[in-house]
Amino acid sequence: MSNFGQQLRQIRQQKGFGLNEFAKEIGVSPAYLSNLETGKTQTIQLEVLSKLNQELHMIINEDVAQNDHTVWRAERIGELLLDLHRTNPIATDYLMTMVEQGVELFTAGASDIH
């Protein structure tokens, strides 16, 4: 997250936001925002990422490490599935079953399947 954090700090400062002011604006503590900027926090909630995008017009780019992007996507998928479950539990169950079966298939030594 250090590249992300560096970009976040740079954009925040260019927009003229102080750390405390911006933390309050996006609904996080100044310590959490500082940890994001310095890379001490390795995960970010989708809600916080969405607020950052709205406030700073940031877009996650290729500088964000693949692992960080994977964690972000996994959290996002989890939230999307929870939202879908409220309106369509059958579709949610189907999608979760497909993911579980896919993971089992790839971890069972069939990783050459594309």
pLDDT attached to residue 108: 81
d(CA 17, CA 23): 9
Does pTM surpass 0.75?
A: no
pLDDT attached to residue 62: 47
pLDDT digits (tens, 9 = 90+) for 50-104: 888 887 776 555 444 555 667 777 888 888 899 999 999 999 999 999 999 998 9
Give the CA radius of gyration of the chain: 18
Res 110 pLDDT > 70? no
Tokens found for residue 95: 């999608």
